């Protein structure tokens, strides 16, 4: 009996094993048959990135001598490979031409690799329900770019009113573009990209992960004011103290109501790499639907974006880098431990054919526009002040158009931002910038030896540069234009005065202030309201108050008693003068009131005469007519 039982168990085990082997071979055969030429893993963005990377590496590293090419074909392949290598090095640094070259190369690779019937397995173009918000935004941007070029994003935002203030669930007002906006707009547009468009969209997705700047690659090229990332969301160090458990595989942490406010409807708090911000027409707009996939991807972009023209080493000891990109954009990159997370800021300043009429468009805009023209033509030392993002650099670029072309221009900047040679290629212009070994102070000193007539400072941000600007305005140039972050004209004067004191050029506040006031002529102050609208808040003349001499009657008085009395009066006047802080008066010529520009004061006669001496006869006549028709007849004018 026991033998029979054992035999039955053995038969059952063998039968089960046979059934298992049968199904194993059947399933293996099915997977092999189903996977022949159609394995979905072969046609995903990550796999395509690896395939493109391997293909390009093989092209750039192949020994051409082993291919048996003739001389003509050998030279052709050598030049093609050299051009590809060069483009691969600089395509991510703002070079649109090199980027298009690399993308065209990738397009050809993918076109011969992906079958036409498998394109929808890479990105499900044929199923709107499977498309991610990132894919929908990429499709929208690509289709609009075909018609509007680099104005595609601007057209998209303006057409659908995406730059309007919105109130969140917490009652906070902000500029935000949500995933619901993209979903709704995509559904309403009814876009149907053809086979070429689909392959181009896939090519862009592969490029931005391979050599590009990730999700901001196309956004950075658009005609906007700037883009930044890594400036919102929480870092890994905050998780333990601010977020409850419930951690999932995709690193999602959930809102703890006792420690912080939530950021989305499902209660999930975004990581520091999960949101992009753009700067558009003076507004910081949050692209809430877009974000980097991981911290490492944000780190990769930060380490790439600033490296144009040997941008230096970004390390823990050097926690930030400021550089320009090939198209003239300014880029700032920061990293821990200097900042709490990896982040970058790209500011774009180059605007083609920028003019004062384009920038100043409120009611009575001709008043500040004409005055600024004559201030520049009159050779006045002028400060352009205002908060960050108010348009100081852009206005300065527009003002330079009205400097007489016969004058030579010398520019000193921290990073090349003005790019004046692009706007005025026929003029005598040379720009300098600070480097690790050459300070702004040394750069300004060198400018004295370059026959410059007009000195332009991109930004007076440090005490040495401020001090040298005052000296340069006194002796080294015809006149100077510069930008500053002062809030009022008095703050501007006091800030420059304090810079002179800190640099130990003066040890008396009053004398230092007199030096500053004797140099400055006008202050053009820009402002930006909460809606992002930019305007000129005021144009202020800095008037130096007359320094009346002390009474000297006591010197000729013979009577001792009367002489002593008169001397006491002189002493009293001396101490009164020394204790009186008013040595200048800010005089607003034009102000922005209730949505329009109005004239509030006239320019002092002495300064008008100085301005006329620097102008041509034709401009003198125009300036006199302007003063008679507008400045002297404006509302609220005081003589």
| CATH class label, 124-347 | alpha beta
Contacts of 182 (CB under 8 A, 6+ apart): 133, 136, 137, 140, 289
Instruction: Look at residues 490, 448, 495, 427 and name the one whose alpha carbon lies nearest to residue 467.
Output: 495
Q: What is the mean pLDDT of residues 253-282?
A: 64
Please name the fold of domain 356-545+582-631: Rossmann fold (3.40.50)
Q: Are 280 and 157 in contact (CB under 8 A)?
A: yes
Q: In percent, how much of the chain has pLDDT > 70? A: 81
The pLDDT value given to residue 618: 93
Per-residue pLDDT of 435-478, as tens digits, reads 777 776 777 777 777 777 888 887 887 788 888 788 777 776 78
Mean pLDDT of 496-501: 89
8 A C-beta contact, residue 455 and residue 477: yes
pLDDT of residue 390: 83
Q: Higher pLDDT residue, 239 or 340?
A: 340
Position 333 scores a pLDDT of 94
The tens digit of pLDDT for each residue in 555-601 reads 666 677 766 776 677 777 666 666 666 788 899 999 999 889 999 98
Inform me whether the pLDDT recorded for 508 exceeds 70: yes
Lowest-confidence pick of 95-104, 161-170, 377-386, 603-612 = 161-170
pLDDT at 109: 92
Say which range, 92-96, 384-388, 628-632, has the weakest mean pLDDT.
Answer: 628-632
Those residues whose C-beta lies under 8 Å from the C-beta of residue 234, and which sit 6 or more positions away, are 242, 243, 253, 260, 269, 270, 271, 272
pLDDT per residue as tens digits for the range 201-212? 999 999 999 999
Chain centroid to Cα 188, Å, comes to 32
Q: Nearest to residue 125, comparing CAs of 139, 141, 106, 115? A: 139
Give pLDDT, residue 227. Answer: 93
pLDDT in tens, 49-63: 999 999 998 888 877
Quote the pLDDT of residue 7: 67
Tell which wins on pLDDT, 398 or 530: 398
Report helix, strand or coil for 382. Answer: strand
Q: Residues 179, 289: contact at Cβ < 8 Å?
A: yes
Q: Where are the beta strands (DSSP E) in 485-563?
A: 522-528, 534-544
Topology agreement, domain 124-347 and domain 356-545+582-631: no
For residue 536 the two structure tokens come to 């000129």
Q: What is the domain partition of the chain in residue ranges?
A: 124-347, 356-545+582-631
What's the whole-number average pLDDT of the chain? Answer: 81
**How far is Cα 524 from Cα 515, in angstroms, rounded to an integer?**
20
């Amino acid at each position: 009996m026991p033998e029979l039982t054992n035999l039955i168990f053995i038969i059952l085990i063998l039968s089960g094993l046979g059934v298992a082997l049968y199904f194993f071979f059947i399933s293996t055969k099915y997977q092999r048959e189903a996977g022949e030429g159609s394995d979905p893993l072969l046609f995903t963005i990550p796999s395509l990135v690896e395939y493109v990377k391997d293909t390009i590496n093989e092209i750039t590293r192949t020994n051409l001598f082993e291919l048996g090419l003739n001389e003509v074909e050998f030279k052709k392949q050598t030049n093609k490979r050299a051009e590809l290598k060069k483009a691969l090095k600089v395509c991510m640094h703002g070079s649109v031409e090199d980027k298009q070259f690399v993308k065209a190369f990738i397009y050809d690779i993918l076109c011969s690799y992906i079958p036409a019937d498998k394109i929808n397995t890479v990105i499900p173009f044929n199923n709107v329900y499977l498309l991610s918000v990132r894919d929908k935004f990429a499709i929208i941007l690509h289709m609009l770019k075909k018609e509007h070029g680099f104005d595609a994003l601007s057209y998209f935002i303006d057409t659908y009113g995406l730059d309007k203030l919105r109130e969140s669930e917490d009652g906070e007002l902000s500029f935000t573009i949500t995933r619901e906006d993209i979903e709704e707009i995509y559904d309403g547009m009814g876009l149907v990209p053809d086979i070429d468009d689909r392959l181009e969209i896939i090519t862009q997705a592969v490029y931005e992960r391979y050599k590009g700047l990730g999700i901001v690659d196309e956004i950075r090229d658009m005609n906007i004011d700037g883009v930044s990332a890594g400036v919102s969301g929480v870092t890994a160090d905050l998780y333990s103290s601010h977020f409850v458990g419930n951690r999932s595989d995709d690193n999602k942490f959930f809102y703890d109501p006792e420690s912080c406010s939530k950021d989305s409807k499902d209660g999930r708090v975004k990581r520091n790499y999960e949101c992009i911000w753009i700067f558009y027409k003076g507004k910081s707009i949050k692209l809430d639907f877009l974000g980097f996939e991981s911290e490492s991807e944000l780190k990769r972009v930060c380490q790439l974006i600033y490296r144009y023209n040997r941008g230096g080493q970004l390390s823990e000891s050097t926690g930030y880098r400021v550089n320009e990109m090939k198209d003239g954009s300014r880029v700032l990159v920061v990293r821990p431990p200097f900042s709490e997370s990896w982040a970058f800021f790209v500011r774009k300043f180059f605007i083609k054919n920028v003019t004062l009429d384009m920038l100043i468009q409120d009611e009575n805009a001709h008043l500040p526009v004409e005055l600024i023209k004559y201030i520049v033509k009159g050779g006045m030392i002028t400060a352009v002040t205002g908060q960050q993002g108010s348009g100081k650099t852009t206005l300065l670029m527009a003002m330079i158009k009205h400097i007489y072309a016969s004058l030579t221009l010398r520019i000193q900047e921290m990073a090349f931002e003005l790019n004046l040679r692009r706007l005025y290629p026929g003029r005598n212009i040379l720009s300098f910038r600070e480097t690790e070994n050459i300070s702004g102070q040394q750069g300004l000193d060198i400018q004295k030896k370059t026959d410059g007539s007009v000195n332009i400072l991109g930004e007076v941000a440090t005490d040495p540069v401020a001090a040298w600007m005052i000296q340069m305005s006194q002796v080294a140039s015809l006149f100077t234009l510069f930008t500053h972050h002062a809030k009022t004209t008095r703050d501007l004067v006091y800030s420059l005065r304090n810079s002179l004191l800190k640099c130990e050029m003066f040890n008396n506040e009053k004398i230092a202030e007199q030096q500053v006031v004797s140099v400055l002529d006008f202050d053009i102050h820009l402002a930006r309201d909460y809606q992002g609208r930019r305007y000129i808040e005021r144009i202020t003349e800095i008037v130096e108050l007359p320094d009346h001499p002390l009474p000297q009657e006591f010197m000729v008085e013979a009577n001792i008693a009367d002489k002593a009395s008169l001397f006491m009066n002189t002493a009293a006047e001396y101490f009164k003068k020394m204790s009186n802080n008013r040595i200048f008066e800010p005089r607003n010529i034009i102000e922005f009131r209730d949505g329009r520009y109005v004239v509030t004061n006239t320019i002092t006669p002495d300064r008008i005469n100085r301005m006329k001496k620097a102008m041509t006869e034709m401009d003198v006549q125009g300036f006199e007519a302007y003063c008679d028709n507008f400045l002297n007849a404006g509302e609220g004018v005081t003589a």
